[in-house]
Amino acid sequence: MHSTLSDKMIRRVREYGYLFPYRVLTAAEAQSYRDAIENYEQTQGGPLAGKYRYKVHLLFTWARDLIRHPRILHAVEQLIGRDILVWTTNVYLKEPHDGRYIS
């Protein structure tokens, strides 16, 4: 999977503040992270809530692994350099048909 941002992509991030779509995970990798969240929900009786939605990279190994994923880090390094610190991770899950809109 390709993880180098083109000059055009970097310009788009600088102009708009985001880049979409840009895939860094394989389908199998994405599914493994989803499975980890769903496993938590099934074993703990519900979605990530309250204090478990914040700084998840300190609470769950799957989140720690995700923020350290080489293809994600490589893309971020191209934008801000190698000195990267993840201060926090917040999870807001949008379940199908839950009536909420994400903008």
Residue 17 lies in a domain: yes
SS3 37: helix
* 90 within domain boundaries: no
In a domain, 52, yes or no: yes
What's the domain count of the chain? 1
Residue 56 placed within a domain: yes
- Tell me which residue range forms the domain holding 16: 7-80
Q: Which ranges of the chain have pLDDT less than 70?
A: 1-3, 102-103
Q: Classify residue 48 by burial, with Cβ atoms within 10 Å: 0-12, 13-18, 19+.
A: buried
User: Max Cα separation, the chain?
Assistant: 45
Cα–Cα distance between 63 and 37 in angstroms, integer?
Answer: 9
Pair 40, 32: CB distance under 8 Å: no
User: How many C-beta atoms lie closer than 10 Å to residue 24's C-beta?
Assistant: 17
Flag whether 102 is in a domain. no
Domain membership of residue 100 (yes or no) is: no
pLDDT in tens, 14-41: 999 999 888 999 999 999 999 999 999 9
Within a domain: residue 98?
no
Could you tell me if residue 40 is inside a domain? yes
pLDDT of residue 48: 87
Q: What pTM value is reported for the model?
A: 0.80
Q: Which H/E stretch holds residue 21?
A: none
State residue 11's pLDDT score: 95
